[in-house]
A and B are shown apart, each in its own frame.
Chain A
């Protein structure tokens, strides 16, 4: 913005510094209060509730827990990677400069812009084996009885992944698109002059430029997908027979069963996986923060 680079440091003004600092603390106080009362205290208390080894013994003996861990790993590996490959591909499509593609991108963002319940319920009804539109169409077009999409645990998990991808894909496509748009056009022009193919342009120009963004986004998405409650709960509710839970819905299930120590233990079990990722993300953001912009 400013033509002259302004050093980003407060003026060395000794006098009056204290009033400014006092005001700073006063303005910061509301958030500090929110953090202490609704994050730090609850989390500390929760960890304290989960201190008994006994909770973990019974948790590990619960077959639902074991299934949920497997489901969660499966969900994370498949859904996140599939989502990002699709987002990478579609971001390449949406950067084309056409009026109609701009309009399409406005429509494409709808799943991200609308609340989860209506659309997930809609998909749930579409997949109903008896009355749902998917199986009706399968029967009408091919005279075959469609599968029980939501009562077969494996299929139901796959459907939950589809729902997750349906909802989250637009956001990550936009992010990767922003990354692609930041690449200088001259690089592509130079590559064209050198006779590079479309694949070579992607391999040697696009990918090196957005690799860091792609990896950071994937890691962030891993954390958030781990906490995706809606896609699973609103679609299957953990059914049939509690076989389609993931850790996010399992914790809530234990709350509903009034087993708070198990709910907390479920979360503690996931922490060795979550905390390094969180640490990495925070590190990334504060490195960017220190860079002069």
Chain B
């Protein structure tokens, strides 16, 4: 019996080790490059001879041609992500409340329109969106990316919030109505407090989606004062002799905040978001 148990444990490890390597090698590669000097970066060693933090210093002091606007780009990334997060949250919460609790006429049609937007691949919507942003005169303004991301993030946000909101007991609304509450009071005093966990999840979702976005960012923004860090990183590969170790250090700085936020809010993300993602 024990030998059989050992065998089944061994089988599990046989899966676990490849999974671990598969997941971590590209991540470790970033880390390895970012702490290597230019000469030792290509030596193929698993740990650099003289690990250094100099690359990060170069990034923070903006001491490379590709990094002259580093702090500005970080600021743009943050500004755009927070703005898109806040607006998505506001738009989606109001819509979900109106559809789910107020049972507004036409709510179903709007929900379908939102779902349609959700399922259309974002890379396809990018083409007409780019043209429209040009017509609106928003190209190269940070608002273009904010509004584009609100458009992309809202449908899923509304869907998830509506699902969560449908689960709230209907008696609450009835009680509020009998007590003579206005819709706004119901929204502010009953709905928002009860929905708080989902609201946190949705804000985080929109924030991360926007911070991580590359395609829309590089399509809509090209002026060096408005581009976020994602587009700045893209510029590194415009020439053949790009400094990999500095690029990887910058990439690490760019990738760490969203990863940290994801793990900090994982409790909400996994419960709140995967449930709505695909219904069986």
Contacts and interface: CB of A to CB of B under 8 A. Distances in A.
Interface of A: 1-2, 6-8, 10-11, 13, 16, 19-21, 23-25, 27-28, 30-32, 34-35, 37-43, 45-46, 49, 90, 93, 96, 98, 100-101, 104, 106-108, 110-111, 113-119, 121-123, 125-126, 131, 133, 136-137, 140, 166, 170-171, 174-175, 178-179, 182, 210, 212-213, 216-217, 220, 223-224, 226-230, 233-234, 237, 248-249, 251-252, 255, 260, 263-264, 266-267, 270, 274, 277-278, 281-282, 284-286, 288, 293
B89 to A, nearest CB: 11
A-B interface, 4 closest residue pairs, ranked by CB to CB distance from nearest: A227-B121, A24-B104, A46-B128, A118-B251
Contacts of B211: 115
The residue in B23, B124, B236, B274 that gathers the most chain A C-beta atoms within 10 A of its C-beta is B124
A233 B120 CA distance: 19
Contact of A115 (B126, B132, B258): B258
Contacts of A274: 120-121, 124
A41 B132 contact: yes
B214 interface: yes
Nearest to B43: A136
B127 interface: yes
A220 B278 contact: yes
A223 B118 CA distance: 11
Contact of B105 (A1, A2, A21, A131): A21
A121 B127 contact: no
A233 B126 CA distance: 15
A107 B23 CA distance: 8
Contacts of A166: 22, 26
13 contacts: A16-B177, A23-B102, A38-B151, A104-B20, A118-B233, A136-B42, A140-B44, A213-B278, A216-B278, A216-B279, A227-B120, A252-B127, A293-B167
A178 B147 CA distance: 33
Contacts of A1: 167, 169
B219 interface: yes
A170 B163 CA distance: 24
A120 to B, nearest CB: 8
B219 to A, nearest CB: 7
Report the contact-size class of chain B (Cβ under 8 Å from the partner): 35 or more
B159 to A, nearest CB: 8
Given A28-B95, A30-B91, A38-B148, A126 B29 contact: yes
Given A32-B110, A267-B124, A90 B19 contact: yes
Nearest to A115: B212
Nearest to A105: B19
